[in-house]
Each structure stands twice: as C-alpha cells, then as structure tokens.
Structure 1
Amino acid sequence: MAGWQEALERQARTRAKAGLTRILRPRPAGDTVVDLAGNDYLGLAVHPGVIAASVRALQEYGLGATGSRLVRGSTRAHEALETELAGWLGAEQALVYSSGYLANLGAVRALAGPQTLLVSDRYNHASLIDGCKSSGAEVVVAPHADPAALAAILDAHPGRPAVFVTESVFSVDGDLAPLAELHAVTSSRDALLLVDDAHAVGVLGTEGAGGVAAAGLAGKPDVIVTATLSKSLGGAGGVVAGPAALIRHLVDTGRTFIYDTAPPPAVVAGVHAALRLARAADDRRAVLAARGALTARRLGAAGFEVSRPAAGVLSVPAPGPEAAVTWAADCADRDIAVGCFRPPSTPDGSSRLRLTLNAGVAAADFARALDVIVECAP
C-alpha cells in the first residue's frame, strides 16, 4: 500500500476509535420510516403540486441545465424563481446557486476585501466558516449570539470595513439569533450583517419569509440574506438576496456562481411551486410550532435537556459520539430516522441527536417517534 494510503488508513482508525466514522446509508424509494432527520419542515418535497411542476419542467428542458448560468444554464425557470424569491425575502434582487454551501461561500467572499474584518458567530455552519477561511480576510470568532460581545469586537477595530456573519436559526441546536439586537450593533458601526436564513425560511415570519423578515430587517440595505432551497422548500440549491449592486458583483466575479453548472430546471421549477405553497402554509407552520413545543415537553418530562425550539430544529445531548450513534441506530431499527451529530459538526465538541420536525408526518407517527426516542435512549 502506498504511503499516502497508509496515512489515510491511520487517520480512519483514529476516527473509528473516537466514534467519528461516518457511513452512507442509501434509502429506498417510498420507504415508510418516520423522518425526523431530514429538513423537509413543511412536508413539501412530496407535494403533488411540487412534483407536477418539476415533471413539466423536466419534459420541457430535459434532465440538466447543460451548462453554467452564464453559458447556457440560465432558463426562464431560474429567472422566475429569483424574482419571486426576492419579493418573498424583501430584497432588491436574488441569485440562485446550485447549493446553499456555494451560496454562502460566494456571499462571504464577495463581501470580504483585503482590509475587511469578518466576525463569525462561534456556532456558525461549516459553509460560513469555510467562506470566512477562504476569503483571505481577517476573521474573528465571536461568542455565540452575543450582541455585547460583537459590539466590543467591532469597537476594537475602529474604521475598518466589517461584516458580521451569523445564522438566524442555528443548524445544530435550533436556537434563534437576536437579529434585531445584532443589527443595531452592526448598523451603528457601519458594518454589514450577513444572515444565513436556511432553517428559518418557510418557518418563521409573515408568509414564512424567514428570521430576517420576522426581525423586521427585510430589505435593509446593510443586511444580506442567504438560504438553501433544500429545507422548507424541499428541493435543492441556494440563494443570495440583497441589493442589486451585490448581485451584479456576484454575477461578474463570484467563482462559486460563474464556474458551477446551473441547478437543473426541473428542480428550480419544483422549488418555485414549493415556494408558492410555503407562502400560504400557515396551517403547516402552526403544526410545526405545536410539534416543537410538544417535543420539548415530552422529552423534558423524560429527563432530557432539550434545546428550546425556535423553529423546526431541536437537539438532545448524548453521553458521547458512540452513544449518539447507537441511539440513532436503535431508533432507525424501529423505523424512526433521527439526526446524529458529532464533532466536527457540533460547535462545542459534544454529541447530540438532532430532531428536525416535519409537518407532513402523520400525528400518530410523530407521537410514536417521540416514544421510541425516549425508549432507545442510552
């Protein structure tokens, strides 16, 4: 075996001893597992209207976009989705990417010049962290969801262009950032606020317009919004929404946009249909909120320390990575899918079960899932 392969094998053994081996588990079509692990919060991924829109676009455009957005990949479907996304999120313009990860990398890099100070919340998603690291700018990691700490950091770097990067609903624990207070800090110091709204879009705010809208910040010229199209909208892709000048800059210079094949028109059309359904889905949002409260009560009564559900994400601490894996596997054996989060996915080095709620799951199945989670606990 070549030396580089031996090095990889040693690293794999080290991860295995620490309980950090990851395994791909392909699921069959039409499986009957109760899904509390995926991100389809509103249950729209299987909505007949969404599927029909996707099928129509598949028949009209074919399987893929056949090129990057600037070559051949942009279609009327992409343009229509971007127009409605901008209106929904209250932004001047929006730009669609093939993934939320690439949208975050593109947005962070676009806002970071040689003198820029990037301030990143300690619990940010990996895509935001990677965007900061790859930007070439100075990065300061801020205490989690702490406006006072942010103010102190910005005040220690007077006169520098600065961007504070945060999620709205955090992807592991599901807590909500104090966006209005954070914006008060950034706006008073001429800094920008970049918010990854991935886990709030579709769930929070009027018509599900997200955490930024719920905080009264939609359309602010110093607020940039990113989101995935793969969670409440049940599809795939990402979006950056903000002032027209930023979108123009991304189209002209953004490497994660220019050099990437466009999202397939069939996916884009399905997401657009899901967006229209999501705007009118107050009933599903009510179900989601009720289930979040029920989950916190049920697991809390069973003695678990459960994160407070701000949207559709909750986490339950596990004794360690191996215990988390066993807990999730035991739930899966009883046809309940839950998320298993271990380092480095967890920001503080601890392990958790992550529960992502789904309004499309039948009430009886949801109640049974909570019972199974309690019964399978280590």
Structure 2
Amino acid sequence: MYNTLKPILQQELDEIKNAGLYKQERIITSPQNADITVQGGKEVINFCANNYLGLSAHPKVIAAAKAAMDSHGYGLSSVRFICGTQDIHKELEKKIAEFLGTEDTILYAAAFDANGGVFEPLFDEQDVIISDELNHASIIDGVRLCKAQRQRYKHDDMADLEEKLQVSHHLRHRVIVTDGAFSMDGTVAQLDKICQLAEQYNALVMIDESHCSGFMGKTGRGTHEHHNVMDKIDIITGTLGKAFGGASGGFTSGRKEIIDMLRQRSRPYLFSNTLAPAITGASIAVLDMLSQTTDLRDKLETNT
C-alpha cells in the first residue's frame, strides 16, 4: 500500500533537499536562445543550454518544422515497422549517415533510447563491454540491460584501457565504449589512441557524440573527424536535441549489418513511436545547413 511507501519516499526526498541536491525546474517563457525570459518576466543570459549552434529557434529550422507538419502531419501513431516510417525518416537517416561518414543510421525517439537499445541486440555472455568510467548514464543503463561481461577503465586512461583489453583476450568480441566529449568535465576522448588500441587488440569502437556532432572537427562531423579516425569507428550514437536543433530524438549510426540488426531487435526502436514529422523535417534542414557551410561551427570555435 502507498501508506508504507510514502514515508520512505518523503524521507529520501528530505535527505536530497538537505544535501542541496534537490532539482528545481527553471520555467522559461520564451524560445530557447542566448537570451531567454524566465517565469516572472525576467530576462537573463543563458549559459546552460546545449544549444551549441543557436539552432533551437533558427527561422529556417522553425519553417522546416512547420512545412513538415503541413506535408506529413503531426504524428504517426505507430512504431516504425508497422506503419510509422515516412519518406522523410529514411531521408534523415541517409543524411545523418552521409554527414558522419557511416554506412547507415537508425532513428530513435530519444538519444537515451539509442544508448539503451544498442548493446542487448548485439552482444551476450561471450563478449565484454569496456567502458570509460565517466560515460553517460544512458550508456551505463544500456550496458546493464545487456548480458555481456562488463569492465570499466579509468577515465581517459589509455594504459588502463590496454590492460582491460589484454585480460579479456579470450572473449569473442571486445567493445570499447566512450563519450566523444564528456559533458561534465570537458574531456575530449583520445579517439586516435583508442582506435590504435582497438586495431592492435581486434576490438570494436563505439562513441557517443551527443556533445560533439555538428561542431567538433573542421567541418563539424564530430570527435572522429577531430582525431582523423572517421573510417575506424564501428558505432556512433548521438542526439538531435543539442547542436542539431535542440528538439528531441536520437540515432545510432555505423556499419550496415549493425544497423540492420538494431532494426530487427532493438527494443526501444521496435516499441516506441516514430519520431514526429516536425522534428524529422527540421532535422533534415539542419543537416542541409551544416553540410553546406561551416559558418556556425566556425563562429562557435572563434567564440570559445
């Protein structure tokens, strides 16, 4: 009964508040931008959004979202494999793959789902996932859902990563998993060294580019472009909710057979509604903009 659960929850909530860790939601009454209006009418400068390229309220992005709603509707009321795949979903998947330099892409309702749904269909007890200890929570949860063995290497520590690769030499597949850039401390993964180790020890490489795609690298392709290893990455996960317009939605991009298997067995993909047409259309516009010019990422680099 709830009467027994309520005091337990209340006690824990009180402990969170007393520790100064209780999360209050800031209410914004304007579009997301560098300058925003919060509840009460106060205007403030915004330093905390992931709106890296300022596209969340860009007129071209908003216009593309409206046009997609007019042409393709508000929603699909279906998962992808039943009757939830429109031409614009396939177009967006193709554009993401081309932008990142991969073979194929699969869309998810959220980036959390992309990481949550990537491991279980691909790996089992015969395999090991070797993960940076500071990887995003979605990677941690995704690994927990998988039956593969798990090892964590010290943050950005290539010597410890190599040791983990050495002791797991007898397993079928070894997968090195890292954030491209770590949002909490700003570390950029040493993908050049990670890929060297992966090649030496015959391991796969997966990166989460949520805080990189759109602006890292000379043309904004991401950390793998920044380190000149675009052809050496097997799996890339990312989000449409940061530099790519800031709405919602995620993706996994990579080797064709990997993406094919995810379409067949990735549960967040199979059992979640399709990405809304407005987000899909707007994201296509964003990819077109970023493929045609590097002006926005160049401005970001100059400002930082």
Instruction: Give the TM-score normalised by structure 1.
Output: 0.74
Partner of 1:106: 117
> Take 2:218 and 2:119, find their aligned partners in 1: how far apart are those partners?
27
Distance 2:154 2:276 in 1: 39
The C-alpha deviation readout for 1:312-361, integer Å capped at 9, x for no partner, is: xxxxxxxxxxxxxxxxxxxxxxxxxxxxxxxxxxxxxxxxxxxxxxxxxx
Unpaired runs of at least 5, structure 2: 32-36, 38-42
Query: Out of 246, 251, 267, which is 2:258 matched to?
Result: 246
Does the 8 A contact of 1:94 with 1:242 survive in 2? yes
Percent identical among aligned pairs is 30
2:98 maps to: 87
The secondary structure found in structure 2 opposite 1:110 is coil
Aligned AA (2:30): A
2:248 counterpart (236, 241, 251): 236
CA distance in 1, matches of 2:286, 2:68: 14
Secondary structure, counterpart of 1:159 in structure 2: coil
Give the SS at the match of 1:240. Answer: strand
Q: Are the counterparts in 2 of residues 111 and 163 from structure 1 also a CA contact under 8 Å?
A: no
Confirm or deny: 8 A CA contact 2:109 2:275 kept in the other structure. yes
Residue 214 (1) aligns with residue 226 (2): yes
| Conserved? CA contact 1:110–1:254, under 8 Å | yes
Residues 61 and 265 in structure 1, CA contact (< 8 A), matched pair in contact too:
yes
The letter of the residue matching 1:14 is E
Q: Residues 284-310 of structure 1: CA distance to partner in whole angstroms, max 9, x if unpaired?
A: 222212322xxxxxxxxxxxxxxxxxx
For 1:1-378, list aligned pairs within 5 A.
2-30=3-31, 31=37, 32-160=43-171, 161-220=173-232, 223-234=234-245, 235-292=247-304
1:19 is paired with a residue whose SS is coil
Question: Quick check: 1:64–1:264 contact (8 Å CA) kept in 2?
Answer: yes
Q: Which moved more, 1:259-268 or 1:59-68?
A: 59-68
Deviation by residue 1:141-187 (Cα, 9 ceiling, x = unmatched): 11011222111111012121211110011111122010010111112
For structure 1, which segment, 59-68 or 36-45, has the greater mean C-alpha deviation from structure 2 after superposition? 59-68
In 2, Cα distance between equivalents of 1:7 and 1:283: 53
Q: Any idea what the Cα deviations from partners look like across 1:105-132, whole Å, max 9, x if unmatched?
A: 1122233212211111011110011111
The amino acid that maps onto 1:18 is: A
Runs of 4+ in 1 over 6 A off after TM superposition: none
Provide the rounded CA distance (Å) in 2 between the counterparts of 1:281 and 1:211: 18
CA contact (8 A) 1:202 1:278 kept: yes
1:281 offset after TM fit, Å? 4.3
Name the SS of the counterpart of 2:9 in structure 1.
helix
Q: Which moved more, 1:136-145 or 1:104-113?
A: 104-113
Report Cα offsets for 1:223-245 as digits up to 9, x if no partner: 21111111111132111111110
Task: Give the unaligned 5+ runs of structure 1.
Answer: 293-378
Separation in structure 1 between the aligned mates of residue 271 and residue 191 of structure 2, nearest angstrom: 33
Q: Give TM-score, length-normalised by structure 2.
A: 0.92
Aligned residues, how many?
291
Secondary structure of 1:64's partner? coil
**CA contact 2:122–2:261 (8 Å) conserved in 1:** no
Q: What is the one-letter code of the residue matched to 1:204?
A: M
Aligned equivalents of 2:229, 2:267: Cα separation in 1: 28
Query: Which residue in the other structure is 1:369 paired with?
Result: none
Shift of 1:219: 3.4
